[in-house]
Amino acid sequence: MAITYHDPQPGDEPSVMAEMNITPLIDVMLVLLVMLIITIPIQLHAVNVEMPVGPPPPVIVEPVVVVIGISAGDRLSWNGEPLPDQVTLLKRLQDAANQADPPEVHVQPDRMARYDSVAAVLSTSQRVGLPKVGVVGLEQFAP
């Protein structure tokens, strides 16, 4: 324990202030802590855990896609193959709808194709029961 003298004003008698110097105590505690850390053996204990084996992830199957193109002159195509008329399109759509795993139908109209031709293809696809029908290439209509 250290005692310091405090002289508030010159000429007055010094007063005694008792303060405890804790620096040696901190040093002793740090030495004890280091000794404790060194003497405790590092435990290299491993726990073997058998992880459960689950089912493998499902295989993702790419869907079959049919692209129906509609040109500016309202001519139809099936995956790039020209179709002679709406009856042929209807027959192919019915065959596709009757499959065990019906394909996705992507209608790809030309920018200058008439609206009623596109609507006819969409309604025919819906009427035969195809569950996944969409219009692709809409970015060509953006301003």
Given a contact cutoff of 8 angstroms between Cβ atoms, the answer to whether 113 and 71 are in contact is yes
Q: Tokens 């029908």 belong to which residue?
A: 133
pLDDT score of 5 more than 70? no
The CATH class for the domain spanning 65-141 reads: alpha beta
Instruction: Provide mean pLDDT across the span 16-33.
Output: 86
Quick: pLDDT tens for 43-95.
667 788 888 888 998 999 888 999 999 998 889 999 999 999 889 999 999 99
Average of pLDDT values for 7-36?
Answer: 79
Report domain extents, the chain.
Answer: 2-39, 65-141
Rounded to whole angstroms, how far apart are CA atoms 29 and 23? 10
Asked if residues 64 and 57 have their Cβ atoms less than 8 Å apart, the reply is no
On whether the CB atoms of residues 140 and 111 are closer than 8 A, the answer is: yes
